[in-house]
């Protein structure tokens, strides 16, 4: 009976698909996307993640172009990059890169959203800037007759200097909790965070405090239960000063406590200096930063360590190199980090992270992300052996000489190059 029902549903769905396959959306004659004008409308490849761009909204608001799925099929490649502003908003950089008949016709525009903007306000502002950037690719085509220009400012006025009553300070606080109750187990957690930031062209100040608390209870039998509690608390503050377009320096102070890391309280303070091969204002597209920092830390442990320490003072140093770039062919990021304790250079850590997302050829994309750490600096490991519960429930850090993580995959899409149609029925997933 179940098999007959499944076959009936399958055939019914197929019949519906066949019956409606010949229907086409009705497009008004004066719509720029009708058959006559579609052939002359520029093909646009919007290189933007769904996290940053509401693709369906953009396609419904900007209807005078053809949206294609591959950069190789486009006349204009719009590369969108994003970074956070000092006020907690976002700076979007839209790079318009001409291809084919528009080769060499490149430009770049920026859109700034405020931290208090709603999702609707953000996408409306983004679409408005994107429309402005597309105008140069339309004015020498028959589509130009559909373009109108309006100027909303009614009177001529002189803009007054900005008076910021908060003096660029931005504050944020949050509380989040999670509950999960079952008959044989109970899990709940909560976190509290607070931040205060002030960002200008000359300085950047950051303060951040966070606490994460977790408790789990598992009922093994009527007489036996396993209960675990973990807590992690962090306080971090940093001041960074700009020297010029390539150099900056700063200092930071942090407090750290974690049951997982055998840290009753770690207090760390130290200066740092950084050089960027590219100007900092190009950071959304490319950067090659080299940073060196020197730290002094006072460590108080929860338990005696494998080196018979319950408290110790340590000097350490760290060198970090970050290379990131985002181009029409894809994106690439590599980060190298090496650190060592000055009292014993054999106690060190070397870490490399790399990721690449590349459009190999039309329709084929490849991405790989990996991280490897050579670990020689686990000074905080407790002296006693970990219990079975601590190992299985991941309640404490275990000894290791390395850490390796790797993710990779590829995708291939073929068929129609156009993606203009938006149909939200039954959701988009």
Tell me the pLDDT band of 421, cut-offs 50, 70 and 90.
low
Residue 13 has pLDDT above 70, yes or no: no
Which residues are CB-contacts of 397 (< 8 A; sequence separation ≥ 6)?
260, 261, 262, 378, 380, 381
At 409-418, the pLDDT tens digits run 988 877 666 6
**Confidence (pLDDT) at 57:** 85
Q: Picking from 82-86, 207-211, 269-273, 337-341, which range would have the lowest pLDDT averaged per residue?
A: 82-86
Q: Which residues contact 177 (CB under 8 A, 6 or more apart)?
A: 188, 189, 190, 191
| CATH number, domain 243-412 | 2.40.160
Residue-wise pLDDT for 146-199, tens only, equals: 777 776 665 555 555 556 778 888 899 999 999 998 888 899 999 999 999 998
9 vs 135: which has the higher pLDDT: 135
The yes-or-no answer to whether 30-141 and 243-412 have a common fold is no
User: Pairing relation of β-strands 43-47 and 76-84?
Assistant: parallel
**If you average pLDDT over every residue of the chain, what do you get?**
83
Segment among 77-86, 91-100, 286-295, 395-404 with least mean pLDDT: 77-86
Task: Return the structure tokens found at 154.
Answer: 């009614």
Beta strand spans in 6-89 (E): 43-47, 66-67, 76-84
User: Given strand 286-301, what is the order of strands in its sheet?
Assistant: 169-181, 185-199, 203-219, 225-242, 247-258, 263-276, 286-301, 311-327, 330-341, 344-361, 364-375, 402-412
Per-residue pLDDT band for 9 (boundaries 50, 70, 90) equals very low
Greater confidence, 189 or 326? 189
What one-character-per-residue DSSP string does 366-389 give?
A: EEEEEEEEEE---TT-BSSPPPHH
Lowest mean pLDDT among 30-44, 208-222, 314-328, 361-375: 30-44
Q: Could you give the percent of the chain with pLDDT greater than 90?
A: 40
pLDDT (average), residues 311-324? 96
Predicted confidence band of residue 139 (pLDDT cuts 50, 70, 90) = confident
Local confidence band at 423 (pLDDT 50, 70, 90 cut-offs): low
Judged against a pLDDT cut of 80, whether residue 65 lies above it is answered with yes
- 3 state SS of 309: coil
Sign of CA dihedral 108, 109, 114, 118: negative
Q: Indicate if the pLDDT at residue 90 is higher than 80.
A: yes
Q: How far apart are CA 338 and CA 214, in angstroms?
A: 32
Question: Is the Cβ–Cβ distance between 75 and 43 less than 8 Å?
Answer: yes
Q: How confident is the model over 222-265, as pLDDT tens digits?
A: 778 888 889 999 999 999 999 999 999 999 999 999 999 999 99
Mean pLDDT within 310-336: 92
Domain ranges of the chain: 30-141, 166-234, 243-412
Average pLDDT over residues 292-299: 97
328-344 mean pLDDT: 92
For residue 305, what pLDDT is reported? 95
User: Predicted confidence band at 23 (pLDDT cuts at 50, 70, 90)?
Assistant: very low
Mean per-residue pLDDT for 300-308? 95
Q: Picking from 56-65, 249-258, 300-309, which range would have the lowest pLDDT averaged per residue?
A: 56-65
CA atoms of 401 and 374, how far apart (whole Å) = 6
Specify the pLDDT at position 274. Answer: 97
Q: Considering only residues 390 and 80, tell me which one the structure prediction assigns the higher pLDDT.
A: 80
What is the per-residue pLDDT for 25?
35
Question: What is the CATH code of the structural domain delimited by 30-141?
Answer: 3.40.50
Determine the pLDDT at residue 252. 96
Quote the CA–CA distance of 389 and 131 in Å, as a whole number. Answer: 59
């Amino acid at each position: 009976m179940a098999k007959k029902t499944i076959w009936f549903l399958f055939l019914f769905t197929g019949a519906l698909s066949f019956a409606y396959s010949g229907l086409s959306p009705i497009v008004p004659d004066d719509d720029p996307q009708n058959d006559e004008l579609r052939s002359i409308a520029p093909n646009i490849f919007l290189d933007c993640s769904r996290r940053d761009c509401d693709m369906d909204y953009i396609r419904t608001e900007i209807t005078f172009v053809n949206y294609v799925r591959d950069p190789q099929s486009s006349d204009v490649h719009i590369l969108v990059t994003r970074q956070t502003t000092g006020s907690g908003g976002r700076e979007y950089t839209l790079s318009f890169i001409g291809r084919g008949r528009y080769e060499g016709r490149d430009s770049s525009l920026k859109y700034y959203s405020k931290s208090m903007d709603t999702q609707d306000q953000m996408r409306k502002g983004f679409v408005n800037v994107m429309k402005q950037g597309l105008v140069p690719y339309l004015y020498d085509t028959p589509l130009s007759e559909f373009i109108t220009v309006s100027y909303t400012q009614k009177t001529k006025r002189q803009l007054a200097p900005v008076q910021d009553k908060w003096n660029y300070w931005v504050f944020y606080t949050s509380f989040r909790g999670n509950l999960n109750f079952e008959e044989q187990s109970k899990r709940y957690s909560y976190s509290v965070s607070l931040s205060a930031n002030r960002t200008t062209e000359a300085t950047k100040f950051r303060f951040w405090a966070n606490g994460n608390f977790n408790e789990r209870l598992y009922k093994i039998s009527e007489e036996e239960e396993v209960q675990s509690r973990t807590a992690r608390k962090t306080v971090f503050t940093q001041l960074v000063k700009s020297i010029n377009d390539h150099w900056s320096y700063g200092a930071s102070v942090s407090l750290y406590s974690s049951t997982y890391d055998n840290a009753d309280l770690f207090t760390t303070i130290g200066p740092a200096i950084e050089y960027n091969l590219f100007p900092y204002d190009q950071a959304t597209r490319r950067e090659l930063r080299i940073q060196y920092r020197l730290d002094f830390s006072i460590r108080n442990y929860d338990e005696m360590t494998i080196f018979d320490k319950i408290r110790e003072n340590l000097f350490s140093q760290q060198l970090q190199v970050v290379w990131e770039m985002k181009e029409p062919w894809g994106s690439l990021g590599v980060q190298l980090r090496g650190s060592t304790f000055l009292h014993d250079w054999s106690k060190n850590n070397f870490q490399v992270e790399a990721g690449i997302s590349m459009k190999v050829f039309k329709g084929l994309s490849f991405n790989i992300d990996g991280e490897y750490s050579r670990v020689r600096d686990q000074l905080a490991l407790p002296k006693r052996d970990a219990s079975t519960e601590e190992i299985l429930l991941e309640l404490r850090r275990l000894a290791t000489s390395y850490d390796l993580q790797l993710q990779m995959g590829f995708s291939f899409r073929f068929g129609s190059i156009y993606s203009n149609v938006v149909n939200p029925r039954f959701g988009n997933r």
